[in-house]
Amino acid sequence: MTVLRRSASGLDLHVHAGDGSAAAPIVALHPWFGCWQFWLPVVELMPERDWVLVDMYSGAGTIPADDGAFDALAAAITSAIEEYTDQPVVLMGNSTGGLLAQVIAIAGRPALDSLVLVGTGATAAGVKAPFRATLGEWLDAGGTAAPASTAAVVRSLVYRDPSAEDMALYAEAVETADYPFLSAVLRGVLGGDVVDELPQISVPTLVVRGAEDAARTEEHVATLMAGIPDCRAVEIPLAGHSPMVDTPREFDEALRGFLGDEA
């Protein structure tokens, strides 16, 4: 169960309170064309931790949909975390959320315990062509994409089709999001490149990739591993771009192993 909190920076935070232990809270950033609910299967498996699931689409209410939208979203996430807690957090991001997490870690604020990068890279270069084409078709529709196009974008994030109920939930999150804001942030992602700044990430980092990722490649993982000083990687079989949806138990096992949590 999560409780909705609105941060001063305008972002909606879905907060799960754990067992009150001193373990660092986990702040999770969803993929673009996914949603904050993507993390719920893992929250259910790790209920003892405090979780903050950031609804990044809610930033449309306060962040202008212009060329600075990506950086402004990173700043809003930083402010929201610092408002929520003054202790170091585990920052975890999938896809676009992963690139935002890298930018935040490089900047050195807020205080981080560790970093988890899921289905992401330090640059958009090398993203698989069919994935780019699926995103391009949705974006070219200018906010009037047919339901089938939206479903195709969501399905590109996972290896297995979600249940009909979950698919409807995920698709609705994309369909009701502000198109100008989505496209503005995505332009920042496609133009982003933090490869040269990776050595500035000073916290232990785990890189997770689904073996069936439709977007990111082993080369993206290798670049992160080469650039981040304290970095390890794990590949999860039978999982796609968002392995916490496809294989939550395997994802939970990898996350616990990295954080030192007992099952």
CATH number of domain containing 114? 3.40.50.1820
Band of residue 263 on the pLDDT scale cut at 50, 70, 90:
low
Cα 112 to Cα 142: distance, rounded to the nearest angstrom: 37
Give the position of tokens 């096992």.
Answer: 253
Q: Phi/psi at 44 (nearest 5 deg)?
A: -65, -30
Phi-psi region of 43 (alpha: psi -120 to 50; beta: other; left: phi over 0): alpha
Overall residue count recorded for the chain in this entry: 263
Number of domains composing the chain? 1
pLDDT tens digits, 25-77: 999 999 999 999 999 999 999 999 999 999 999 999 899 999 999 999 999 99
Q: Given strand 26-29, what is the order of strands in its sheet?
A: 3-6, 12-16, 51-55, 26-29, 89-94, 112-118, 205-210, 231-236
For residue 33, give its domain range. Answer: 3-259
pLDDT tens digits, 184-227: 999 899 888 999 999 999 999 999 999 999 999 999 999 999 99
165: its two tokens: 């109920």
Please give the radius of gyration of the chain, using alpha carbons only, rounded to the nearest integer: 17
Q: What is the pTM of this model?
A: 0.96
